[in-house]
Amino acid sequence: MSDNARPAALPGAPSSSPREFHFTADDFERVRKLIYDRAGISLSPAKQDMVYSRLARRLRAHGYTTFAQYLTHLERGDEKEWETFTNSLTTNLTSFFREAHHFVLLAQQMARSKHRPFRIWCSAASTGEEPYTLAITACEAFKTLTPPVTIFASDIDTNVLETAARGIYAEERVDKLDPERLRQFFVKGTGAQQGQFRVRPELQKLLSFARVNLLDARWPMQGPFDALFCRNVMIYFDKPTQYGILKKFQPLLREDGLLYAGHSESFVHALDLFRSQGRTVYERSDRKR
pLDDT top residue among 267 and 11: 267
pLDDT top residue among 135 and 279: 135
Given this model, what pLDDT does residue 191 score?
64
Residue 272 has pLDDT above 60, yes or no: yes
Among 236, 178, 280, CA closest to 38: 236
Residue 15 has pLDDT above 70, yes or no: no
Angle between helices 25-39 and 48-62 (to 10 degrees): 90
Sketch the domain layout of the chain as residue ranges: 25-89, 101-284
Which one is catalytic: 54, 200, 231, 284? 54
Q: Which CATH number fits domain 101-284: 3.30.160.250, 3.40.50.150, 3.20.20.150, 3.40.50.720?
A: 3.40.50.150
Q: What is the mean pLDDT of the chain?
A: 89
Please state which of the ranges 92-96, 97-101, 135-139, 265-269 shows the lowest mean pLDDT: 92-96
Using omega within 30 degrees of 0 as the cis cutoff, is the peptide bond preceding 224 cis?
yes
54 is a catalytic site residue: yes
Residue 6 has pLDDT above 50, yes or no: no
pLDDT, tens digit, for every residue of 113-155?
A: 988 899 999 999 999 999 999 999 999 999 999 999 999 999 9
DSSP category for residue 146:
S
Given this model, what pLDDT does residue 1 score?
36
pLDDT, tens digit, for every residue of 22-39?
A: 999 899 999 999 999 888
Contact call for residues 146 and 201 (beta carbons, < 8 A):
no
Which one is catalytic: 27, 49, 155, 226? 155
pLDDT, tens digit, for every residue of 49-74?
A: 889 988 999 999 999 999 999 999 99
Residue 91 has pLDDT above 90, yes or no: no
Given this model, what pLDDT does residue 192 score?
58
216 is a catalytic site residue: no
> What CATH number is given for 25-89 in this structure?
1.10.155.10
225 exposed, middle or buried (CB, 10 Å; 0-12, 13-18, 19+)? buried
Q: Is the pTM of this model over 0.75?
A: yes
Given this model, what pLDDT does residue 88 score?
85
Buried (b) or exposed (e) across 8-45, using 16+ Cβ within 10 A? bbeeeeebeeeeebebbbebbbbbbebbbebbbbbbee
Given this model, what pLDDT does residue 106 score?
97
pLDDT, tens digit, for every residue of 153-199?
A: 999 988 899 999 999 999 999 998 999 999 999 999 876 577 899 99
Helix (H, G, I), strand (E, B) or coil at 281: strand
Given this model, what pLDDT does residue 78 score?
83
